[in-house]
A and B are shown apart, each in its own frame.
Chain A
Amino acid sequence: MSVVAISPPPLLPALDRVPRVDEVGVEERVARFCSRSIKKESKVQALKLALSMIDLTTLEGQDTHGKVTQLCQKAIHVHDALPGLPHVAAVCVYPTMVAVARQALCGHDIKIASVATAFPSGMAPLGVKLEETRLAVQEGADEVDMVISRGAFLEGDYGRVFDEIIAIKEACGPARLKVILETGELGTLDRVRRASTLAMHAGADFIKTSTGKIQPAATMPVTLVMLHAIRDYYHATGRRVGMKPAGGISRAKQAIQYLVMLRETLGEGWLTPQWFRFGASSLVNDILMQLEKQSTGAYQSADYFSKD
């Protein structure tokens, strides 16, 4: 007879004890990050780091095998004209496209992330969400990007949101779970902070701002509040949780500002694609354009950078 150690299920954290957030103060802090002057070697380093953190994404009703395959080519050959570039961290697709991406990325160290749980609205019964999650993982997803039930959260039914994340995490098996809060629908930074804490206690490996389908998507104030939540959770439990701002980050300059914020909030441990991602697609070429500028001294036409 073997003894199986059963770890107790996670408990819903006391959300009334989550620190309050002052929006004006957050915006002021963000302005400080944005006023950092990142030049020369530190700029090149930041651009390469940002590139290596990108989840190259296509999440559209019109996605086809062709589109996904071509996106994967971009992920592999991001800009061969410039040697020494890192590859992007992952491609992010719908569950039905995971197999296509799997095949296209065969032999490359690029992760496959799949959205699931009735993305982007999350308006489906739990059973359907679990089934979709299992399918994505079976097809070969390394990472699952789920959405929380914002309706339940806004109703104050935190227990349901919490239990759903626990269930999805279990369905993920070995795949890492990113929990999308859809902060544009939560409305206040106080709710963002609570939802972050709730998701981490339920087992999220990453917390993520947005689906990209709702405006506003990722913003620096929202991301800073989530980074603060990650820091406090890390101090309390010793467990690292990753961060993924997604949607609305299309310029290299913005990406560098996010990295400054990350560096000065969480430090060295998070300055890696393992713990920080950008959910973006057009960001790639702007970073490449800046890197070319740094190496040649001149900006090149957009036609010199591949669009897939």
Chain B
Amino acid sequence: MTRPESRLRFDTDWKYSAAPESTDHIRVDSQYELFIGGKFIAPGARQYFESINPASEKVLARVARADRGDVDRAVIAARRAYDRSWSKLRPAERGKYLYRIARMLQERAREFAAIESLDGGKPIRESRDVDVPLAAAHFFYYAGWADKLEYAFPGRRATPVGVAGQIIPWNFPLLMAAWKIAPALACGNTVVLKPAETTPLTALKLAELTRDVDLPPGVVNIITGAGDTGAALVEHADVDKIAFTGSTEVGKQILRRLAGSGKHYTLELGGKAANIVFADAAIDQAVEGIVNGIFFNQGHVCCAGSRLLVQESVADEVIAKLKERMATLIVGDPLDKNTDIGAINSAAQLEKIEQYLRIGQAEGGEMYQSPCSLPETGYWCRPTLFSGVAQSNRVVQEEIFGPVLAIQTFRSLEEALDKANNTPYGLSGGVWTDKGAKIFKMTRALRAGVIWANTFNKFDPSAPFGGYKESGMGREGGLHGLGAYVELH
């Protein structure tokens, strides 16, 4: 398709100067305590862990490690706030607090965006244009529902569930906190939220923010720690509901622990989405969609379009154009405004991704990586394609959670559907075609919670999100997201 003599050169004489986002305006303390009952308090065992910047491997802050006793304290604070104030507050007043959080997030957007990029490695362009605005949008959206629950569930009376234990992942730390906290509070619940071990800082900044907007103490409690902290929260007898977003493996452990407890739960787990490109698609825009589908947030996205299914008659063209487009992706300093792909979130995740690169090659896949240069320190992975792979290969079957795309071809619509659905996951999917009828046919038959047509990775607080099969249970976002935080009578 591309003649070697007509290769385009993107190593141009005109280069973009460094354009780093300033960090003068942000404050990151050297040590963070647990946020319980409206105050930052030291953990009982006085144990701390370090949160590092994955782009520099430097320590950003020491963060408290909550043990069982600390979790208990947080749940007691949440219960007290639930009983004494929050569940008795007029719904419109709850809405006011949420609006206030939303507005304050917008006001401090630059600070939150910069910290999100420092702590998690994602490019500032994304934390500035996606994570923080969407987090604020979720608070605005659910603020509006707070005093309208009778319209959300017509003919029924909705009451809060009680104390919600919420465990969130490291890929969208602030946004996931917003997804969890906003609907819970709108419905009259109080929460104990545990951010991921590698990315606790924006949740702790959000804790400061809830204090600044005078949210009653104990309504939002933030406890930091690793897996055992999360397990203690899941097992706590006075928690009424568990909301978890993370890996399918941990989701299964949580579900086992919850069995017979009577607790409500929603689980938003892994995915291995098929992004399906038909021959009649707008090819150049589909290529852009493939890039956004798999390289957005370094591929650390549960709904990433990590399996490309491309119709055989255009496969060579699509792959050639994809490689050409990858040559222009800028990988590097997450705080540079021109960076397209930032740092891999942690050393452990990088190791996992690299293991899959070895597996993919050992399985006989043809690996292609974009020719970009990488910084010396930090955790980095070049945008990667595997072509010549099949349903039988692990890089096609398993969630890699990195910038690695597996490419397969198909001949007919039926074959595309078969392959797309032939997975234990079912979180998301993409369809690219110029034909409306084909879109409807595909979206009806694809077994996935979210399906995008001629676009990918679009999020809105009004749209429910969640998976089929091993991708989870329950829905978050939109009207459906309220259902997870109410008892209906």
B1-39 interface with A by 8 A CB criterion: 1-3, 5-6, 8-17, 19
CB distance from A70 to the nearest CB of B (A): 32
With CB as the reference atom, state the residue of chain B lying closest to A25.
Answer: B285
Interface size on B, residues (CB 8 A): 34
Bound complex: CA A267 to CA B11 (Å)? 8
A9-60 interface with B by 8 A CB criterion: 19-22, 24-26, 28-29, 35-43, 45-46, 49
Bound complex: CA A264 to CA B287 (Å)? 14
Whether B16 and A267, one on each chain, are in contact in the complex, defined by CB atoms closer than 8 angstroms, is no
Bound complex: CA A263 to CA B10 (Å)? 7
Residues of A within 8 A of B337 (CB): 35-37
Whether B282 and A22, one on each chain, are in contact in the complex, defined by CB atoms closer than 8 angstroms, is yes
Residues of B within 8 A of A174 (CB): none
Given A25-B289, A37-B19, A39-B17, A268:B434 Cβ within 8 A? no
Bound complex: CA A279 to CA B434 (Å)? 33
Bound complex: CA A36 to CA B284 (Å)? 20
CB distance from B220 to the nearest CB of A (A): 33
**Which of B14, B125, B285 contacts A35, CB < 8 Å?**
B125
With CB as the reference atom, state the residue of chain B lying closest to A21.
Answer: B282
**Which of A19, A28, A41, A234 contacts B288, CB < 8 Å?**
A28
Bound complex: CA A22 to CA B280 (Å)? 11
Bound complex: CA A51 to CA B411 (Å)? 50
B260-287 interface with A by 8 A CB criterion: 280-286
Whether B455 and A24, one on each chain, are in contact in the complex, defined by CB atoms closer than 8 angstroms, is yes
Residues of B within 8 A of A28 (CB): 288, 455
Whether A25 and B454, one on each chain, are in contact in the complex, defined by CB atoms closer than 8 angstroms, is yes
Whether A228 and B284, one on each chain, are in contact in the complex, defined by CB atoms closer than 8 angstroms, is yes
Bound complex: CA A67 to CA B129 (Å)? 47
Bound complex: CA A140 to CA B281 (Å)? 46
Whether A268 and B13, one on each chain, are in contact in the complex, defined by CB atoms closer than 8 angstroms, is yes
With CB as the reference atom, state the residue of chain B lying closest to A19.
Answer: B283
**Which of B5, B8, B11, B282 contacts A25, CB < 8 Å?**
B282
> C-beta contact mask, A216-249 vs B, less than 8 Å → 1, else 0?
0000000000001001001100100000000000
A266 within 8 A of B: yes
CB distance from A276 to the nearest CB of B (A): 12
Bound complex: CA A238 to CA B3 (Å)? 8
CB distance from B320 to the nearest CB of A (A): 8
B338 within 8 A of A: yes
B391 within 8 A of A: no
Whether B12 and A268, one on each chain, are in contact in the complex, defined by CB atoms closer than 8 angstroms, is yes
Residues of B within 8 A of A19 (CB): 282-284
Residues of A within 8 A of B281 (CB): 20
Bound complex: CA A28 to CA B11 (Å)? 24
Q: A20-B282, A28-B455 are in contact. List 6 more A-B contacts (CB 8 A).
A: A21-B285, A24-B454, A25-B289, A263-B12, A264-B328, A269-B9
Binding site for B on A (CB under 8 A): 19-22, 24-26, 28-29, 35-43, 45-46, 49, 228, 231, 234-235, 238, 259, 263-264, 266-269, 271
